[in-house]
Amino acid sequence: MSLTNEQYDSIMREYDAIRNRNARATTEKQKMIYNKFPELKAWENRAVTLKVQKVKQIMEGAPQSSIDNLEDEATMLLVNRMSLLESNGLSPEDLEPIYDCKDCHDTGYIYDSYGNREKCHCFREREINILYNQSGIRQLLKRENFSKLTYKYHEGEDLNRLKGAVDVCRDFVDNFDKEYKNLVLNGTVGTGKSFLSCCIASELLESYHSVIYLSAISLFEILAKKQFSGDYSDKGEETENLYECDLLIIDDLGTELSNSFVASSLFGLINERDLRRKSTIISTNLGLPEIRERYADRVLSRLTGNYIFLKLTGKDLRTLVK
Ligand SMILES: [Zn+2]
């Protein structure tokens, strides 16, 4: 399943509205600055005149000294402009157009070095929000991120484990673009494994990465719907995003129904993401023997071979915090 025409149109209408809003804000801001410092406009007009004169003089073969004079005046105008703006707490950027997304200028599309048009990260994020119903996750990330992290509910070995896991998670975020890594966050209910995956998701979304956060139940529902719908009409954009997003977080693996479809599609997914060097985080309270039993040896060997296992222990934080 990919975006329906209606969903696509609604994203494009959103971009229209953003561009209109920013165009108005840009005009207002420029008007305010030019009204306050009318000399700026006069200098800009003069700079345009100087450019025209310079071209004219070059074409007419005027003496170099005359052309140099024009250039000196143009430089002087730039210096004056800069110092006037700076002495009033402004910068040249304050006169530039305003954009929500500086990469695509709020069009939703960018061009690669070959001139091919592709979706901007901000479009991908909107698409993912719609396709995977991620708006709830956004709310969750406001509550659960590194700034909300506390060690006050842990002690002893539990505390050491948590601190060690936090270090690995921070390192995962810091080196995300340099090192390909995967994590398994393992622990019983309420030990903080989902919290840590939220911390990572939050940081990576801030730095414009595409992140899909799904409970294991929702993930296998999506995969089953695709598999059993008999609809092969589209290229499978919904599943394509699962293979291609920068980070896939599978929350609470083991809470879904256990069957051979689940086992084989989990293998297919983590195997494909591994081939594409796309990171995955799995949180689960299953131990290794249970993972082998539910998903078979090949899943277990992929996980033990390519994932860093972090074990979290302690009391159920959810009841403690309440
Ligand atoms: Zn963009």
In a domain, 297, yes or no: yes
Would you state the pLDDT for residue 112?
Answer: 86
Would you state the pLDDT for residue 238?
Answer: 67
- Going by pLDDT thresholds of 50, 70 and 90, the confidence category of residue 232 is low
**Count of domains in the chain?**
1
Task: Please say if the pLDDT value at position 80 is more than 70.
Answer: yes
Give distance in angstroms: CA of 12 to centre of ligand 1: 12
Q: Which two tokens stand for residue 144?
A: 């659960």
> Which has the higher per-residue pLDDT, 247 or 128?
247
Give distance in angstroms: CA of 109 to centre of ligand 1: 7
Element (H, E) at 166: helix 156-174
Element (H, E) at 138: helix 135-143
> Which has the higher per-residue pLDDT, 233 or 258?
258
C-alpha span between 71 and 302 (Å, rounded): 66
Give distance in angstroms: CA of 64 to centre of ligand 1: 46
Backbone φ and ψ for 210, nearest 5 degrees, come out as -90, 125
In a domain, 142, yes or no: yes
What pTM did the predictor assign?
Answer: 0.71
Q: What's the average model confidence in pLDDT over 173-201?
A: 92
Give distance in angstroms: CA of 125 to centre of ligand 1: 9
Residue 257's CATH number: 3.40.50.300
Give distance in angstroms: CA of 110 to centre of ligand 1: 7
In a domain, 4, yes or no: no
C-alpha span between 215 and 257 (Å, rounded): 12
Give distance in angstroms: CA of 238 to centre of ligand 1: 20
Where in the sequence is the domain holding 198, given as residue range(s)? Answer: 133-321
Give distance in angstroms: CA of 53 to centre of ligand 1: 39
Nearest to 130 by CA among 2, 28, 314, 299: 2
In a domain, 56, yes or no: no
Would you state the pLDDT for residue 322?
Answer: 53
User: CB within 8 A of 58, min separation 6: which ones?
Assistant: 67
Task: Please say if the pLDDT value at position 229 is more than 90.
Answer: no
Give distance in angstroms: CA of 108 to centre of ligand 1: 5
Give distance in angstroms: CA of 102 to centre of ligand 1: 7
In a domain, 52, yes or no: no
pLDDT tens-digit readout, 89-132: 999 999 999 999 999 999 999 998 888 998 898 998 888 888 77
In a domain, 250, yes or no: yes
Single-letter amino acid, residue 207: S
Q: What's the average model confidence in pLDDT over 259-281?
A: 95
Give distance in angstroms: CA of 71 to centre of ligand 1: 38
- Going by pLDDT thresholds of 50, 70 and 90, the confidence category of residue 318 is low
* Mean predicted lDDT score pLDDT of the chain: 89
In a domain, 243, yes or no: yes
State the alpha helices, DSSP H only, in the chain: 5-36, 38-59, 64-87, 121-131, 135-143, 156-174, 193-206, 216-228, 237-244, 260-275, 288-306, 317-321
- Going by pLDDT thresholds of 50, 70 and 90, the confidence category of residue 51 is very high
In a domain, 124, yes or no: no
Q: Which two tokens stand for residue 103?
A: 């990469």
> Which has the higher per-residue pLDDT, 18 or 227?
18
Percent of the chain past pLDDT 90, that is, above it, reads 68
- Going by pLDDT thresholds of 50, 70 and 90, the confidence category of residue 188 is confident
Percent of the chain past pLDDT 70, that is, above it, reads 94
C-alpha span between 35 and 89 (Å, rounded): 16
Would you state the pLDDT for residue 237?
Answer: 64
Task: Please say if the pLDDT value at position 11 is more than 70.
Answer: yes
Would you state the pLDDT for residue 321?
Answer: 58
Task: Please say if the pLDDT value at position 316 is more than 80.
Answer: no
Give distance in angstroms: CA of 127 to centre of ligand 1: 12
Task: Please say if the pLDDT value at position 281 is more than 80.
Answer: yes
Would you state the pLDDT for residue 160?
Answer: 92
Give distance in angstroms: CA of 118 to centre of ligand 1: 10
